[in-house]
């Protein structure tokens, strides 16, 4: 059921080995054959490459393993369950502009009908282009974050992080909701029930003076014993390779008559 990879560092790194191991989980050593996507920060904007095909069999993904150099990465390999169209619109990460920032988002899990969580009017910042639960959840998250910004697009202290944590807990109550998200500065990781982190791994990246690296994945990708599982309902915020904030949420199971959309 989909897998995630996030990386944040205080200087650009070349995570070739890490990306190759992650790509193998897209249809080779793990059953996630329905698409892949890689968002890497280049300058002040994200470059996003993605295809609705297995990463393990993608020449383009192999090229990116060798070419990618960045201090902030969000990647995803997709398992459409239940099956939905293998098209670009359903392939993570998703990207939107909101509150003067560029956001990328990738999800693992399954969120049942999010209609009760959405406003009666269309999302002002995010209209889903595909038919996945993931993109609808992303729009819900952006809608709640935007309410914590001033009309001028200024964050009101840490209110947007508080709003994000609350919304994450609510969405997780409607299914399974593990995600990675970034605004180009922060790497935000929410582990509802399945996420791991590793700090400062020289074996997975070639570094150019980087002193701090943090990696977040669905499953450990290297042999280090220092991989740490997220606590259920834990949201972490990283910046330049350091964890700068942590929130705990307590999702509750919610019954629904509506069938879930696929990630």
User: Tens digits of per-residue pLDDT, 187-230?
Assistant: 999 999 999 999 865 555 655 555 689 999 999 998 888 899 99
- Per the domain annotation, does 262 fall within a domain? no
- Per the domain annotation, does 263 fall within a domain? no
Could you tell me the pLDDT band of residue 92, with boundaries at 50, 70 and 90?
very high
User: Tens digits of per-residue pLDDT, 64-90?
Assistant: 999 999 999 999 999 987 677 899 999
Torsion over CA: 67, 2, 204, 238 (sign): positive
Query: How much is the CA Rg of the chain, to the nearest whole Å?
Result: 17
- Per the domain annotation, does 177 fall within a domain? yes
Exposed, middle or buried, 84 (CB in 10 Å: 0-12/13-18/19+)? Answer: middle
Q: What is the pLDDT of residue 17?
A: 94
- Per the domain annotation, does 253 fall within a domain? no
Query: What are the Cα distances from residue 69, in Å, to 20, 23, 35?
Result: 14, 16, 22
CA angle, corner 150, sides to 144 and 154, nearest 5?
100
CATH of the domain at 184: 3.60.20.10
Torsion over CA: 47, 197, 250, 80 (sign): positive
User: Tens digits of per-residue pLDDT, 101-159?
Assistant: 999 999 999 887 665 566 555 556 678 889 898 998 999 999 888 888 766 556 556 78
- SS3 of 95-123: the string is EEEECCEEEEEEEEEEECCCHHHCCCCCC
Domain range for residue 46? 3-248
- What is the number of structural domains in the chain? 1
C-alpha 106/C-alpha 22 separation (Å) is 15
* Of residues 127 and 261, more confidently modeled: 127
Query: DSSP code of 55?
Result: G
């Amino acid at each position: 059921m989909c897998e995630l990879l996030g990386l944040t560092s205080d200087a650009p790194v070349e995570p070739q080995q890490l990306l190759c191991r992650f790509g193998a989980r897209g249809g080779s050593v793990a059953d996630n054959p329905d698409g892949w996507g890689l968002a890497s920060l280049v300058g002040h904007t994200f470059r996003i490459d993605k295809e609705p095909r297995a990463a393990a069999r993608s020449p383009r993904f192999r090229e990116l393993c060798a070419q990618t150099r960045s201090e902030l990465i969000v990647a995803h390999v997709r398992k459409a369950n239940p099956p939905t169209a293998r098209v670009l619109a359903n392939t993570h990460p998703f990207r939107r502009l909101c509150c003067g920032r560029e956001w990328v988002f990738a999800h693992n899990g399954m969120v049942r009908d999010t209609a009760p969580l959405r406003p009666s009017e269309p999302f002002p910042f995010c209209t889903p282009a595909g038919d996945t639960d993931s993109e609808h959840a992303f729009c819900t998250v952006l809608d709640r974050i935007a309410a914590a910004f001033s009309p001028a697009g200024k964050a009101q202290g840490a209110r947007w992080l508080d709003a994000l944590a609350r919304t994450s807990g609510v969405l997780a109550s409607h299914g399974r909701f593990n995600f990675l998200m970034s605004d180009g500065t922060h790497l935000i990781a929410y582990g509802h029930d399945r996420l791991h982190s590793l700090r400062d791994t020289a074996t997975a990246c070639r570094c150019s003076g980087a002193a701090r690296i943090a990696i977040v994945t669905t499953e450990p990708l290297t042999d280090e014993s220092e991989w740490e599982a997220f606590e259920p309902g834990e949201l972490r915020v990283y910046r330049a390779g350091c964890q700068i904030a942590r929130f705990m949420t307590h999702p509750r199971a919610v019954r629904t008559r509506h069938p879930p959309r696929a990630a």
